[in-house]
Amino acid sequence: MTLDASSLQVVKAERAAPRRADRSKLASVGLHGALVIASLIAVFPVFWVLVTSFKPDARAVETTPKLVNESTVDNYVRILSGDKGNFLAWFGNSVLIALMTTVIAVFMSATTGYAASRFRFPGKRPLMLSFLVVQMFPFAVLIVPLYNILLTLGLQGSSFGLVLVYCTTAVPFCTYMLKGYFDTIPNDIDEAGRVDGLSPFGVFWRLVLPLARPGLAVTAFYAFLTAWGEVAFASAFLSAADESKTLAVGLQVFVQQNRTEWGHLAAASILVAIPAIAVFYLVQRFLVTGLASGAVKG
């Protein structure tokens, strides 16, 4: 077992980039100009919520936009103190549900993806095809029966029922991505491990999984975001009690028919976006390699 794991990381393919010196000044300006404009469009809404989150509700609806307008941290204080609905409970529920979904989905899709990548077994093709078809299922066709099933199992309104439901959406896609990623890890490693006396599970657990970390990171990211931001099932399946809501459901309280509390909503949004952006920042350097190998081999 003297394999050096780092030397086996998937190497980025040589890129076909023209050397910078080849480019005229004008082209450079155009390139940066386009990227700057695109970045501004991408970032602006987030920036604007951040600005709004410090304004009192009454100032957030003024018709002349100002960056700073009686800005304080009052909104945050009120949200966190539970003045505006039980925000911390919603947050806890969302974290719990998202983490459970991530762990279960990554574990299941890793084993399945590995089996699909390494072994030839009868039923493999139909299985992979069915994962693709499952992507097509609109929740509308499943929502009534799932509601029915959760009612029967007594899981209606519980977080665990929701986790199971999220896994059905996250697992097929994650399996596809991970299968693609495992395909890029040379089979020789498995064989070397076998020669050294590891069982197939040992090979998977001790050799392949550590090498697949970029792919696993992307998968985890995807599963986490699936659960963190889901609206339809959470709205329909969680009980109406305030302390059992997730963030996606709870925050709808701020957007009422007649009057929307934009300041408070913005502050809550920032608090919700921070964990997602943090998770995202941790995995983003893996995103391109992880996603590409999954999509290419699809």
Q: Does 178 bind another protein (CB under 8 A)?
A: no
Site for another protein in 68-107 (CB under 8 A): none
Q: Give the C-alpha separation, 14 to 228, whole Å.
A: 36
Provide the minimum distance between the beta carbon of 2 and another protein in the complex, in angstroms, as a whole number: 25
Question: Which residue in 1, 7, 16, 26 binds another protein (CB under 8 A)?
Answer: 16
Q: Does 25 bind another protein (CB under 8 A)?
A: no
Question: Which residue in 5, 9, 29, 48 binds another protein (CB under 8 A)?
Answer: 48
Question: Which residue in 34, 67, 73, 77 binds another protein (CB under 8 A)?
Answer: 34
Q: What is the dihedral of CA 65, 66, 67, 68, to 10 degrees?
A: -140
| Binding track over 231-250 against another protein, x by CB under 8 A | xx--xx----------xx--
Q: Give the C-alpha separation, 220 to 297, whole Å.
A: 19
Nearer to another protein, 2 or 286 (CB): 286
Nearer to another protein, 4 or 34 (CB): 34
Q: Is 119 helix (H, G, I), strand (E, B) or coil?
A: coil
Number of residues this chain uses to bind another protein (CB under 8 A): 109
**Helical H segments across the chain, by residue range:** 25-52, 57-60, 74-80, 87-118, 124-136, 139-153, 159-183, 187-195, 200-202, 209-211, 213-228, 232-237, 247-250, 262-297
Q: Give the C-alpha separation, 196 to 33, whole Å.
A: 56
Count of CB atoms within 10 A of residue 41's CB? 9
Site for another protein in 114-173 (CB under 8 A): 114-116, 119, 121-122, 124, 127, 130, 132-146, 148-149, 151-152, 154, 156, 164-165, 167-168, 171-172
Question: Which residue in 80, 205, 229, 244 binds another protein (CB under 8 A)?
Answer: 229
| Binding track over 187-226 against another protein, x by CB under 8 A | -------------xx--x--------------------x-
How many Å from the N-terminal Cα to the C-terminal Cα in the chain?
A: 31
Question: Which residue in 20, 26, 195, 256 binds another protein (CB under 8 A)?
Answer: 20
Q: CA 3 from chain center: how many Å?
A: 32
Q: Give the C-alpha separation, 248 to 230, whole Å.
A: 7
Question: Which residue in 1, 26, 41, 240 binds another protein (CB under 8 A)?
Answer: 41
Nearer to another protein, 4 or 26 (CB): 26
Nearer to another protein, 4 or 80 (CB): 80
Q: Give the C-alpha separation, 162 to 167, whole Å.
A: 9
Closest CA to 48 of 28, 31, 30, 66: 66
Site for another protein in 249-278 (CB under 8 A): 251-252, 254-255, 260, 262, 265-266, 269, 272-273, 276-277
